[in-house]
């Protein structure tokens, strides 16, 4: 029976690449090394309902059609659209993203990723102050102080702490967890916080205050700190700053608690400044805890192909970028798109009501292996092979290292990459015909 | 079978000693040949200047440049060199384009081709992140590409050097080139990348690397030895210690001297020192900063074992990007600029910082002068490769502007007239009246590259060479570049024709076709016993220290577009 070693898990941004998968009769029968989330994804193939066939909505009901019919219907929607929103593309391969960008370019669409409701502010922060970072192995081998800020890897990135951070052992960190100080900054005592040496509970939405206070102390201005900052006593803030300054190597991992709470990108901006200031005393880096396994890849591919990581508007023929104006939700809330293509992400579940309401009013094309709330408002639905299990391709880990995902089993479904290619070809054909 | 006859070409091809002579060039199936049949398609060059396709031997065009794009979305809209920068809508032939210093991949291909360039060498590929570089290569149209892999702060390299295991080191370098599909050995601030892992740096050739008990000098010599043992097509490619610091010219000369004892295994240099402008600074601080170019040029004039490139500065915005992590942090602090950093586990560091070179800043003015001083004070152009270390010194789209500085003392005077007296006191450029001719320019932009990378089919117009050809709208006998520099700049900014493998890709400065280019990579053979012994050592590295498995580390074949494997035989 074939045993595939070093398979890459296509679930979260940790992109663990040490999974051993046993395949019998084109079925995955054993998965080793994966966490509970990854395991569920690998076995999900068997346990969850799939979208079984391409579908088109007729008289309010989704009815099965062939891929060809669905391609034809989707192409017509896009050709007749004057303002298409292309959204998602984060639980899929870079090769698909590349095709989706070309499709957006040729149809003058706006293309955006799930970063719009996730780490988009992280990109804005980097554009303000830069992204002082490192690969995860640097943390494994060197870091003696690790902060998890507004993130909860125990549940969101279960193997992160073992493979890359708190519990990992490396050349200069032989003692692993014992030799490290682990700090959690959050608004509630998460399961990650329970494992920490110190837990700093802050008032919701006050991250910027604490980061700014830390900067002040690191830069020698302890005197300006009020008695409490973000609900944390001054002495505790000073102690935290001293811990950071006296470390050999600091890494701040940050999540959506930082990017999507009050002050948004300003939090990341200040954190980047804090990292820069800390490097006057020690070595410090920061890494965003990216969620979808290839949301980092979308940003990478979009950046080299269009110059921008997200929210790219091709209406002018060239890429135009103005997040706040050209983000997926910006457009939807303005009720601007007259059609949407949503792939490898679930806007129906994750967007604000007003945005979803507009999506429900316009023709929506969906590409996804599984039905989800977006399916309920979709007019053309393409089932797709699961990338990383039924299709190969490239993905980027949260630290921007790219890995090749393997195809482990055969699938009757087309891949995202093929669907996008077919759709682009059909649109070209229709345009030529016109 | 396609045939082209280029008639009435005014050929400047230093590899053959041809200096602006009118002749015909025959092309068949993408190669230059002695003759073609009467059916050949005819291009009438009408006596215009014709050179081999340009070859940029040190440019940051894939990989790290993406960080530059990412943190500088403002660059996308910059259109400082109309026709070669800014936002351009898609056409039937071309993808949409943006950018100036950090253009998108498509723009990089189109714009180099417009300049008559057909080959580029990416200056720094981190082994662990090599797949990313090749992904970008795939999306850069037209150009042939190669890249240099980083070895200068690599744990395995330093350990083998410390433990005096040159054979295993050679096997490791061969493996690293195979893993990253690299073309040569790049060493950036040897040892400095590892020191930067702790927020520190090394201060010179003999400052030991923390925890590894080797010195930068030992890293350089160790890698040079295996580079020659493996008979690699390129020499080691060195970014010296102390880059960007006043007084660093001494380290640079010391580094060059170190290589006098290295015997090249092929007919090429033993050492290439890159972007020397950034490493030719005299003085002891930014207060008494002044040019160190005369000292460096003086040494280079007496040396015959090395080549170098300029790293010429272009006034205006630039984006610095280098594996020299500590330099970028220092830049960001000094300039109060945004700072990106990406240290690569077990291997190296890197950083990206945007900056602005102003003629009003005396430091920037002197930097600008140093690049030109190096080009003009070093007598033999075969030792020099023209670069701006794009986009560190400035974007490659400014090459035509920079050519006018090299070809016209009058043009230089124009620029210099805007400098402060303090700047003038710190440079020697105003006293230099040398002006390069087209022949010397062709050497620095084509011929040196062909020789130093051992690519005899590139950078020349010999029969058998690739039919990569640029025809510029210049009639060499009827133009005086020292006065008519505006014409020179215009002609070099948009080739009348650029041919890539015999296909017209640019005509009258516009893109005609966008074929895919080749990727060159080096596969150096090593005895299997030595390779196996080395593999055992790196297996430990992967098991204990890397966060990626060995199987997933190697760049797979599917990432290489039109690969050309250059096999070499290691000597053991």
Domain boundaries, chain A: 3-44, 50-117+293-433, 120-288
Instruction: Please name the residues in contact with B498: beta carbons below 8 A apart, sequence gap of 6 or more.
Output: B53, B113, B114, B116, B117, B118, B469, B470, B471, B504, B505, B506
Cross-chain Cβ contact B76/A17 below 8 Å: no
Q: What is the DSSP letter of A174?
A: T
Whether B73 and A307 lie within 8 Å, measured CB to CB: yes
Top residue of B97, B514, B552, B554 to mutate, by most chain A CBs within 10 Å, is B552
Q: Is A272 on the interface with B (CB under 8 A)?
A: yes
H/E segment holding residue B31 = strand B31-33
A304 touches B: beta carbon within 8 Å:
yes
- Answer for the pair A238, A222: CB distance below 8 angstroms, yes or no: yes
Phi, psi of A356 (to 5 degrees): -65, -35
Kind of pairing between the strands at B384-385 and B306-309: parallel
Helix (H, G, I), strand (E, B) or coil at B30: coil
Domain A50-117+293-433 has CATH 3.90.740.10: no
Nearest-CA distance from B58 to chain A in Å?
19
First to last CA, chain A: 53
- Among residues A285, A200, A207, A210, the alpha carbon closest in space to that of A250 is found at A285
Using a CB–CB cutoff of 8 Å, tell me whether A171 touches chain B.
yes
List of chain B residues whose C-beta atoms are within 8 Å of the C-beta of residue A294: none
Question: Which among A8, A132, A163 has the least Cβ separation from residue B339?
Answer: A132
Q: pLDDT below 50 — which residues of chain A? A: none
**In this complex, do B199 and A164 lie within 8 Å of one another by their Cβ atoms?**
no
Asked if A299 reaches chain B (Cβ–Cβ under 8 Å), the answer is yes
Residue B203: pLDDT band with limits 50, 70, 90:
very high
Residue A8, min C-alpha distance to chain B (Å): 9
SS3 A137: helix
pTM: 0.98
- Cβ of residue A147 closer than 8 Å to a chain B Cβ: no
Q: Which residue of B has its CA nearest to A400?
A: B129
Residue in chain A lying closest to B131 (CA)? A402
DSSP string, B319-351: EEEES-HHHHHHHHHHHT---EEEEBTTTB--E
Q: Residue B156 pLDDT > 60, yes or no?
A: yes
pLDDT at A107: 97
Instruction: Choose among B281, B354, B358: nearest CA to B313.
Output: B358
CA nearest to B200 within chain A: A283
Taking CA atoms, B523 is separated from B154, B158, B235, in Å, by: 20, 22, 15
φ, ψ dihedrals at A380, nearest 5°: -130, 130
3-state secondary structure of B166: helix
Query: Element (H or E) spanning A55, and its range?
Result: strand A55-58
* Distance of residue B409 Cα from the nearest chain A Cα, in angstroms: 37
Using CA atoms, how far apart are residues A73 and A419, in angstroms rounded to an integer? 13
Pick the closest to residue B201 from B340, B342, B324 (CA basis).
B324
The residues pairing with A342 across neighbouring beta strands, listed in sequence order, are A87, A366
Statement: residue B1 has pLDDT above 60: no
CB contact under 8 A, A276 and B132: no
**Cβ-Cβ contacts under 8 Å, A132 against chain B:** 339-341
By C-alpha distance, the chain A residue nearest B100 is A307
Place of tokens 């999900």: A44
B90 vs A318: CB contact, 8 Å cut-off? Answer: yes
> How many cross-chain Cβ pairs, A to B, lie less than 8 Å apart?
192
Between positions 346 and 365 of A, the ones with CB within 8 A of B are: none
Chain A contacts in chain B segment 184-243 (CB below 8 A)? 196-199, 211
Average per-residue pLDDT for chain B = 98
Amino acid A49: pLDDT: 87
Indicate yes or no: CB of B548 within 8 angstroms of CB of A140. Answer: no
Q: Cα(B299)–Cα(B302) distance, rounded to whole angstroms?
A: 5
**Which of A135, A249, A304 is the closest to B104 by Cβ?**
A304
Both tokens of B315, joined, read 């006034």
Q: In chain B, positions 66-125, which contact chain A (CB-CB < 8 Å)?
A: 66-67, 69-73, 75-76, 87-90, 95-99, 102-106
Do B353 and B423 touch, CB atoms closer than 8 A? no
State the CB neighbour count (10 A cutoff) for residue A183. Answer: 21
A401/chain B closest Cα distance in angstroms: 6
Within an 8 Å CB–CB cutoff, is residue A132 touching chain B?
A: yes
With contact defined as beta carbons under 8 Å apart, do A312 and A318 qualify? no
Pairwise CB contact (< 8 Å): B89 & A404: no
Q: ω into residue B391 within 30 of 0, thus cis?
A: yes
Q: How far apart are CA B346 and CA B545, in angstroms?
A: 8
- Taking the C-alpha atoms of residue A208 and residue A125, their distance in angstroms, rounded to an integer, is 13
Q: How do residues B31-90 score in pLDDT, each as one tens digit?
A: 999 999 999 999 999 999 999 999 999 999 999 999 999 999 999 999 999 999 999 999
CB contact under 8 A, B342 and A141: no
Same fold across A50-117+293-433 and A120-288: no
- Nearest CA to B545 out of A319, A376, A172, A300 is that of A172
Q: Pairing mode, if any, of strands B117-125 and B144-150?
A: parallel
Q: Decide if B339 and A276 are in contact by the 8 Å CB cutoff.
A: yes
* CATH assignment, A120-288: 3.40.228.10
> Which residues of B, range 294-353, sit inside 8 Å of A by Cβ?
329, 332-333, 337-346, 352-353
- Predicted pLDDT of residue A44: 77
Q: Report chain B residues whose CB lies below 8 A from the CB of A122.
A: none
Residue of A nearest to B326 (CA): A279
Residues above pLDDT 70, as percent of chain B? 100
Residues 258-287 of B with CB under 8 A from A: none
DSSP classification of residue B302: T
Q: Is B540 on the interface with A (CB under 8 A)?
A: no
Q: Which of A6, A285, A400 faces B552 most closely, judged by CB atoms?
A: A6
Task: Please report residues of A whose CB lies closer than 8 A to that of B551.
Answer: 5-6
Which chain B positions have a beta carbon within 8 Å of A280's beta carbon?
Answer: 333
Interface test with B, best of A145, A175, A303 (most B CBs within 10 A): A303
């Amino acid at each position: 029976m074939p045993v595939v070693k070093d398979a890459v898990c296509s679930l979260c941004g940790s992109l663990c690449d040490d999974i051993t998968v046993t395949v019998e009769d084109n079925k995955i029968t054993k998965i080793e090394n994966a966490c509970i989330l990854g395991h569920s994804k690998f076995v999900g193939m068997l346990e969850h309902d799939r979208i079984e066939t391409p579908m088109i909505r007729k008289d309010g009901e989704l009815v099965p059609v062939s891929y060809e019919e669905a391609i034809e219907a989707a192409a017509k929607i896009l050709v007749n659209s004057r303002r298409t929103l292309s959204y998602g593309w984060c639980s899929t391969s870079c090769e698909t993203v590349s095709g989706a960008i070309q499709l957006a370019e040729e149809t003058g669409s706006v293309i955006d990723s799930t970063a719009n409701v996730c780490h988009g502010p992280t990109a804005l922060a980097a554009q303000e102050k830069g992204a002082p970072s490192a690969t995860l192995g640097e943390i494994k081998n060197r870091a003696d102080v690790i902060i998890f800020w507004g993130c909860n890897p125990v549940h969101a990135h279960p193997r992160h702490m073992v493979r890359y951070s708190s519990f990992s052992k490396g050349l200069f960190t032989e003692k692993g967890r014992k030799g490290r100080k682990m700090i959690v900054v959050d608004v509630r005592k998460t399961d990650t916080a329970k494992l920490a040496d110190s837990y700093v509970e802050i008032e919701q939405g006050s991250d910027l205050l604490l980061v700014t206070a830390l900067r002040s102390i690191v830069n020698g201005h302890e005197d300006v700190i009020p008695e409490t900052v973000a609900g944390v006593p001054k002495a505790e803030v000073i102690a935290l700053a001293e811990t950071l300054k006296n470390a050999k190597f600091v890494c701040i991992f940050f999540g959506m608690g930082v990017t999507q709470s009050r002050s948004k990108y300003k939090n990341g901006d200040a954190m980047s400044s804090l990292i820069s200031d800390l490097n006057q005393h020690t070595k410090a880096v920061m890494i965003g805890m990216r969620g979808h396994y290839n949301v980092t890849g979308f940003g990478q591919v979009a950046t080299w192909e269009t110059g921008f990581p997200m929210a790219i508007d091709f209406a002018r023929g060239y890429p135009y970028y103005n997040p706040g104006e050209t983000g997926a939700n910006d457009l939807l809330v303005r009720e601007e798109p007259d059609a949407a293509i949503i792939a490898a992400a679930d806007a129906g579940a994750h967007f604000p009501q007003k945005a979803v309401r507009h999506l429900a009013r316009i023709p929506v094309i969906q590409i996804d292996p599984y039905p989800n709330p977006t399916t309920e408002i979709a007019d053309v639905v393409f089932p797709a092979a699961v990338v990383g299990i039924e299709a190969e391709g490239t993905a980027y880990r949260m630290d921007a290292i790219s890995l090749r995902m393997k195809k482990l089993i055969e699938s009757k479904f087309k891949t995202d990459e093929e669907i996008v290619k077919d759709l682009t070809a059909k649109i070209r054909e229709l345009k030529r015909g016109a | 079978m396609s045939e082209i006859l280029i008639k009435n070409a005014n050929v400047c091809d230093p590899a053959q000693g041809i200096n602006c002579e009118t002749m015909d060039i025959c092309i068949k199936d993408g190669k230059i040949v002695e003759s073609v049949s009467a059916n050949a398609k005819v291009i009438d060059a009408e006596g215009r200047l014709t050179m081999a396709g340009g070859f940029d031997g040190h440019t940051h065009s894939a990989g790290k440049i993406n960080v530059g794009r990412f943190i500088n979305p403002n660059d996308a809209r910059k259109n400082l060199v109309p026709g070669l920068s800014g936002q351009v809508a898609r056409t039937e032939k071309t993808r949409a384009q943006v950018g100036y210093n950090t253009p998108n991949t498509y723009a990089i291909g189109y714009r180099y081709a417009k300049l008559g360039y057909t080959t580029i060498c990416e200056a720094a590929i981190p082994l662990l992140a090599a797949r990313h570089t090749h992904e970008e290569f795939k999306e850069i149209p037209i150009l042939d590409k190669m890249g240099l892999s980083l070895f200068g702060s690599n744990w395995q390299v330093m350990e083998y050097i410390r433990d005096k295991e040159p054979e295993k080191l050679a096997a490791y370098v061969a493996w690293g080139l195979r893993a990253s599909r690299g073309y040569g050995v790049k060493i950036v601030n040897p040892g400095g990348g590892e020191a930067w892992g702790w927020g520190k740096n090394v201060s010179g050739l003999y400052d030991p690397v923390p925890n590894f008990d080797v010195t930068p000098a030992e890293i350089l010599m160790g890698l040079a030895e295996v580079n020659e043992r493996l008979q690699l097509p390129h020499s080691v490619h060195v970014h010296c210690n102390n880059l960007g610091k006043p007084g660093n010219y001494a380290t640079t000369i010391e580094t060059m001297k170190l290589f006098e004892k290295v015997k090249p295994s092929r007919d090429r240099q033993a050492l290439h020192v890159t972007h020397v402008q950034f490493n030719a600074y005299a003085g002891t601080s930014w207060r008494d900063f002044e040019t160190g170019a005369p000292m460096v040029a003086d040494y280079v004039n007496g040396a015959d074992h090395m080549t170098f490139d300029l790293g010429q500065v272009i006034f205006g915005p630039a984006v610095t990007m280098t594996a020299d992590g500590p330099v970028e942090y220092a830049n960001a602090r000094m300039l109060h600029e945004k700072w990106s950093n990406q240290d690569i586990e077990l291997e190296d560091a890197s950083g990206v910082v945007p900056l602005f070179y102003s003629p009003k800043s005396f430091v920037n003015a002197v930097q600008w002068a140093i690049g030109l001083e190096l080009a003009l004070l070093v007598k033999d152009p075969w030792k020099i490769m023209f670069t701006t270390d794009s986009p560190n010194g400035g974007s490659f789209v400014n090459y035509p502007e920079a050519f006018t500085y090299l070809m016209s003392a009058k043009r230089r005077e124009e620029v210099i007239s805007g400098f402060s007296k303090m700047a003038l006191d710190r440079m020697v450029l105003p006293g230099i009246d040398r002006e390069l001719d087209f022949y010397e320019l062709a050497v620095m932009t084509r011929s040196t590259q062909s020789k130093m990378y051992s690519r005899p089919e590139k950078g020349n117009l010999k029969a058998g060479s690739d039919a990569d050809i640029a025809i510029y709208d210049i009639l060499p006998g009827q133009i005086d570049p020292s006065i008519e520099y505006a014409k020179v700049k215009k002609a070099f900014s948009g080739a009348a024709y650029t041919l890539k493998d015999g296909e017209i890709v640019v005509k009258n400065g516009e893109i005609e076709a966008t074929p895919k280019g080749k990727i060159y990579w080096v596969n150096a053979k090593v005895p299997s016993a030595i390779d196996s012994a080395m593999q055992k050592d790196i297996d430990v590295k992967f098991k204990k220290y890397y966060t990626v498995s060995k199987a997933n580390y190697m760049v797979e074949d599917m990432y290489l577009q039109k690969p050309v494997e250059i096999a070499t035989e290691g000597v053991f």
